Amino acid sequence: MSKRLTSSLILFLTLITSACGSPMKTPDIKQNPHPKMRYEITMTIQGAPGPFDSISGFVQYKVSNDRCVPLTPVSGATLPPEKSVPLELSHVSDNVYKGTLYVDLLQDEDYYGLGVCHWAVVAATASLKVKKADFSPDLFAESVLKQASETRYFSKKQFEAVGRGELAPPVVSGVLPAEYRNLKPEWQQDMFSVTLSAKEDFQ
């Protein structure tokens, strides 16, 4: 192999290694000092066969305009920043919990010199835990902004099996209403529901 070819190969490998080893910088994500777009989130549990070990939640945010984000080395894809923020759900009655979500919680900024990145809500998610299983209903951004509700159905038998220490998936996403309506009556009777709803409460 000639010295020129060897030098070219070394240069090529150096460039590839450098590109692979130069991750995109992590943006300094700040909260909006004066958020105004507040929504009250209500969670209603109906028919659960027992108490949950813990109940919490989180809101997922994501940059909505990809053009403000540089291409990643080698792959050439854009990876918009994401951030999850805890959603505190307070127990207000036997089966009802409430929390507060701000659509404009995160501050839009120019992180990469390619224009301002705009943050948007992806979903509010509840985490209802029984031992190691996480019953996890979502309320997506479209429903939040429309002040609508979303219901998920979960199996009582699965809840009880988890309580006995039997194996279960780490995250249980539940059954959608359309799927629930197609179930046999005896299977419907085995379900409990969790409904998340949003109500505008701007400041």
Cβ count within 10 A of residue 198: 22
The more confidently predicted of residues 112 and 77 is: 112
* Residue 193 · residue 45 · CB < 8 Å: yes
Cβ count within 10 A of residue 142: 11
Tell me the C-alpha distance between 80 and 202, whole Å: 27
Q: Considering the domain boundaries, does residue 144 fall inside one?
A: yes
Q: What pLDDT digit, counting tens, does each position of 78-136 carry?
A: 899 999 999 999 999 999 999 999 999 999 999 999 999 999 999 999 999 999 899 99
Tell me how many domains the chain contains: 1
Q: Is the pLDDT of residue 56 over 80?
A: yes
Q: Considering the domain boundaries, does residue 24 fall inside one?
A: no
Q: Considering the domain boundaries, does residue 15 fall inside one?
A: no
Cβ count within 10 A of residue 150: 21
pTM score, whole prediction: 0.84
Q: Considering the domain boundaries, does residue 170 fall inside one?
A: yes
Domain region containing 121:
29-200
Residue 75: its pLDDT value, please?
Answer: 74
